[in-house]
Structure 1
Amino acid sequence: MANKSKPPPNGVYVPAVLFMDENEDLDIPSIQAHILRLAQGGVTGILVQGSNGEAQHLSHDERKLAIATTRQTLDQNGFKNVVVIAGTGGQSTRETKKLCADARDAGAEYALVLTPSTWPPQMTKPNIIRFHREVADASPIPTMIYNFPTVTAGIDLDSDTIATLAAHPNIVGTKLSCGNVGKLQRLTSSLSSTEFATFPGKSDVFLQGLISGSAGVIGALPNVAPKAHIRLLNLFREGKLEEAVKLQALLGHADWQLGKIGSIAGIKAIVSKHFEYGKPFVRGPLAPQQLQDASMDKLEELIVLEKSL
């Protein structure tokens, strides 16, 4: 067996939204402004083309441009240590391998791989394992398994499947957007964190994940409030559990409200309103979201906290 690749460091990661103009073209200045605010907020890494990054709506060239823009913006502003992970999910093994190679060429250090989902009945456990192993064999950068049943036609990898894949020398972690803390804990208690990083994919189980041995979080809400997430991580590390529980409650309510607004367009609308860059345009068939009708009291409370930190 080859030497095991290193997993990404523990911390707070953001699947960054990708700002666009009214013609649905990439809005590079707003993308740069967002990357910079996240990095200044203290995030450990940025996930380009996570589900919040509209990966499936981009051409291969746009995907490379988004990764390269992220890496260059970080490097040029003194954030060389901030990790770039690229979502590289494709519907065929061949395309996924190409996206992993493209990601490396554009400056990403890790690839986050969704399970293909065009033909759910064909995605048996052996087929899923074969797919992820073949991609990891070919990928020039370490890969991570992205488990998100909402965007993979309900395909939900269990802890046995993920643990089997974790033995591969080039598979170094997972993002569990299923939000299943039991699954997370089964993985963290049976796999060394120095070899395999297990992240919840939602802020509403951030603290629960940390207590269960997770590597941190990769979630949508840090697009709005990166500093508040770093604060929770620090409270946990300092053993200030009572304060951490209070902050986790706020994150949980805010995450729920964000989801109800309509994740990607909602994040863009909130960021545009409160941090004064970017427009709430998304690529069709997604639709822009209106904020005025939504209940946002906890989100507003979180934004006040974020601006005070």
Structure 2
Amino acid sequence: MDAALGLSGLFGAMATPFGADEDRTIDVKQTEALITRMDTAGVQGIVTLGSSGEFMSMTNAERMRFTEIVESATAETSLQTVVHVGAMTTAEAVQLSRHAEAHGAAAVMAVTPYYEVLTIRETEEYVKAIADSIGIPVMLYHIPGCTGRKWTFDELQRLGQIDGVQYVKDSSGDFPLLVELIEASEQGGITPFCGYDTLMLGALANGVTGAVWGATNVIPELCVGLFDAVIRDNDLTAAKELWRVIHPIGNFFLQNGYLASLKAGADIAGIAHSDPRLPMLPLTPEEKQQLAAHVEPALARTAGLGALR
């Protein structure tokens, strides 16, 4: 995809694979393998160092190192990379943004600081500082369950008027808000990406043009298949058949600890083996067995996905 044409399509919310050593350092080989799997499956891009990427348990130096690893691993692919740069201070977010742009990012994504809840005016200044520091687009990260601040439709449109701000990953779980954003984007409003696993089919059916989806770490082919069924083929019957095996996985993620479930799912799928960093704990053996009961039928369905295309 040409960055000049903008971002659209399915972006994998990429996990950060860590090694089994005491310091849980970044595992380069597993990172490369995960990128290869997503690229082969047909996603349009990846979002790195977001919630699925465990940025909150990494130092800024590690975040920049991971961006450099991803730059190298995607060099021979058509994947666009969106790097999450949100931080607790504006200075850090600007530093990470400039680094991301220098290392090939098509855009940056930014969550707001999440301890002292920002006012809308403070949010505007934070976002503007990021946007002014780079020449690539900014994607807002709307995840009120983590930031403690839910933006209204009007506030999102207001933030979208900042030069350089083009997109919002909406992980609020507020479906009516997402539909309102989709409709407004058709008239020039900020472009929403669906970032809530269990709303994907509904979002696609209502015309969303982009998504950032953690399940791509586990069942990337099925996630691509769902997109293709709705957007390319306009085949809701095929989409609903896929959704019956996809939805239970996303629902499990949301109810049983997203990071631990995501990484357990990637292990079950044979894509990457990596537990989350402390203080997050991996799933118990019993929980992992429960997740496998959802993932294994989905993996079996992957083998017959070609029939739906």
Report the TM-score, using the length of structure 2 for normalisation: 0.89
Select 1:9's aligned residue among 3, 7, 10: 7
Q: In structure 2, the residue corresponding to 1:51 is in which secondary structure? A: coil
Q: Aligned match of 2:174 in 172, 180, 196? A: 180
One-letter amino acid of the counterpart of residue 38, structure 2: L
Post-superposition shift, 1:162? Answer: 1.0
1:226 equivalenced with 2:220 (yes/no): yes
Q: Write out aligned runs for 1:1-309 (5 A).
A: 8-22=6-20, 23=22, 24-76=24-76, 79=77, 81-120=78-117, 123-152=118-147, 154-192=148-186, 196-237=190-231, 238-275=233-270, 278-294=272-288, 295-296=290-291, 297-309=293-305
CA contact (8 A) 1:7 1:194 kept: no
Given the superposition, is the C-alpha separation of residues 293 and 233 from structure 1 closer, same or farther in structure 2, using an over 3 Å criterion?
Answer: closer
Distance 1:66 1:7, change over 3 A: farther
Give distance in 2, aligned partners of 1:306 and 1:216.
22
- Conserved in 2, the CA contact under 8 Å of 1:175 and 1:199? yes
Go from structure 1 to structure 2 and tell me whether the alpha carbon gap of 1:113 and 1:216 turns closer, same or farther (over 3 Å shift): same
Instruction: Write the letter of the residue equivalent to 1:160.
Output: D
Change (3 A) 1:278 1:57: same
In structure 1, list runs of 5 or more residues that go unmatched.
none
Partner secondary structure for residue 68 of structure 1: helix
* 1:291 to partner: Cα distance: 4.1
Aligned CA distance change for structure 1 residues 240 and 133 (closer, same or farther; 3 Å): same
The Cα shift of 1:6 comes to 5.4
Percent identity, please: 21
Are the equivalent residues in 2 in contact too, given 1:21–1:27 (CA < 8 A)? yes
How far apart are 1:18 and its partner, in Å?
0.8
Alignment check: 8 A CA contact 2:185 2:192 kept? no
Q: Which amino acid aligns with 1:134?
A: A
Note the alpha carbon deviations across 1:117-176, whole angstroms, 9 max, x for none: 2212xx122222222223212233211100012221x21112111111112230010101
Does the C-alpha gap of structure 1 residues 193 and 172 become closer, same or farther in structure 2, counting only changes over 3 Å?
farther
Aligned length: 298
Which is worse superposed, 211-220 or 11-20? Answer: 211-220
Unaligned runs of 5+ in 2: none
Task: Label 1:71 to 1:196 Cα distance change in 2 as closer, same or farther (>3 A).
Answer: farther
Q: Scaled by the length of structure 1, what TM-score is found?
A: 0.89
Q: Aligned partners of 1:155, 1:280: CA distance in 2, in Å?
A: 31
The amino acid that maps onto 1:19 is: P
Tell me: CA distance 1:180–1:199, structure 2 relative to 1, closer, same or farther (3 Å).
Answer: same
**Alignment CA distance shift 1:291-1:274 (3 Å):** farther
Deviates more, 1:239-248 or 1:107-116: 239-248
